[in-house]
Amino acid sequence: MLAEEGEPELLEEGLWRIPIPLPFALRSANIYLLADGPRNWTLIDAGLGLPADESALHAGLAFAGIRLEQITTLILTHSHPDHIGLSGPIHDASGAPVYMLAGEDQTMYSVWGQSSEETSQALGAMYIAHGLTPEQLASGRQAPDRTRRVLRLPPRESLITVDDGEELRLGNHVYLAIWTPGHSDRHLCLLRDDHIFIAGDHILPGITPNIGWYPNGRPNPLSDYFQALQKVRDLPARLVLPGHRLPFTQLAERVDELRLHHEERSQRIHSLLEEAGSHGLPAAAVARSLFGDRLRTADDLRFALAESLAHLEYLRAEGQASRLQHDGHFVYLAVNR
Ligand SMILES: [Zn+2]
């Protein structure tokens, strides 16, 4: 019988999924608890940080018969808010070190720490340059600050960074760290030696991970993503633990679906540019054409714009699109070869 998405579940001996409620369309994020030895308890990811998340984490740990103080390791797959929010309280209660891929820790503190005015200005300038109106930008401008108040980050000295290909020995197990850029620049997947694959938001079932282009980020995140899909496709994963939704088994199949989805979307965007002819299109217009009335909130619009930009920059790198700038505003044009 299929588990309810919102209930903690024992996936197999020594492995629990603890769903954490989210106040947006994704509904929930997963925290995983893994027994790595008699006194070794590893948590993967840390929810958003709302009081409801904290209750869900405590309930999930109680279901597993573990107290927060017993956690010995916390691993964060990436720095998005719905994966890091309780990392501070988890570290405070347990003293567990917090592992991230090198570089993603800096992103976490620069985007979500105190001094993020610079980041938000660069983002605002990007949204305007790619076709959002100042009104669209203003609506929802407070959203990042609201999120920032919810997140409780650990002190910097609790962080241990790992590199691509590094092996982590935790209790009786060895985890292979795998750099999987695309959804975030320094996204971390891990393969445990018993072939449990920790996917974070790199591979999700039923929904496609958002791949967005951001100022100061890597220049071609969609190309990164395609390569990172290939990198994990043929791993000997017997169970995939995604950051959202339910665990699944067919990794290669899901990788192929995700690749196809993004290839089709790129080709659709190329067609939109062709239809626009010599006027070209700003990224915001591409986003509206692609997502239409699925864009309900200011956040939706920003994510859609960043995702459209990831595709447009990919097409540009592939020689299928070009970009022109007029008075600080960008438009993209189809290149036909
Ligand atoms: Zn994410």
Give the Å distance between the CA of 107 and the centre of ligand 1.
Answer: 13
Res 91 pLDDT > 50: yes
Report residue 103 as tokens.
Answer: 């570089």
pLDDT tens per residue across span 189-203: 999 999 999 999 999
Give the Å distance between the CA of 210 and the centre of ligand 1.
Answer: 8
Give the Å distance between the CA of 292 and the centre of ligand 1.
Answer: 23
Share of the chain above pLDDT 70, in %: 96
Q: What is the pLDDT of residue 134?
A: 84
Residue 141 confidence class, pLDDT cut points 50, 70, 90: low
Buried/exposed 73-104: b ≥16 CB within 10 Å, e otherwise: bbbbbbbbbbbbbbbbbbbeebebebbbbbbb
Give the Å distance between the CA of 194 and the centre of ligand 1.
Answer: 25
Q: What is the pLDDT of residue 206?
A: 94
CA pair distance 91, 74, nearest whole angstrom: 8
Give the Å distance between the CA of 49 and the centre of ligand 1.
Answer: 15
CA pair distance 19, 304, nearest whole angstrom: 26
19 closest CA partner among 41, 48, 92: 48
Give the Å distance between the CA of 220 and the centre of ligand 1.
Answer: 17
CB 76 within 8 A of CB 35: no
List for the chain the helix, strand, coil content (%; round to 5).
40, 25, 35
Give the Å distance between the CA of 250 and the centre of ligand 1.
Answer: 21
Give the Å distance between the CA of 305 and the centre of ligand 1.
Answer: 16
Q: Which class for 140: exposed (0-12), middle (13-18), buried (19 or more C-beta within 10 A)?
A: middle
- The alpha carbon dihedral of 64, 203, 248, 1 has a sign of positive
Buried/exposed 45-72: b ≥16 CB within 10 Å, e otherwise: bbbbbbeebbebbeebbeebebebeebb
Q: What is the pLDDT of residue 299?
A: 81
Mean pLDDT for 59-66 is 97
List beta partners, residue 32. 17, 44
CA pair distance 279, 326, nearest whole angstrom: 12
Mean pLDDT for 153-170 is 97
pLDDT tens per residue across span 212-247: 999 889 999 999 999 999 999 999 999 999 999 999
pLDDT tens per residue across span 280-330: 999 999 999 999 878 777 788 888 999 999 999 999 999 999 999 988 899
Give the Å distance between the CA of 186 and the centre of ligand 1.
Answer: 11
pLDDT tens per residue across span 17-57: 999 999 877 789 999 999 999 999 999 999 999 999 999 99
150 closest CA partner among 231, 250, 51: 51
Give the Å distance between the CA of 78 and the centre of ligand 1.
Answer: 7
Res 117 pLDDT > 80: no
Give the Å distance between the CA of 280 and the centre of ligand 1.
Answer: 31
CA pair distance 234, 250, nearest whole angstrom: 10
Q: Which helix (H) or strand (E) holds 310?
A: helix 298-317
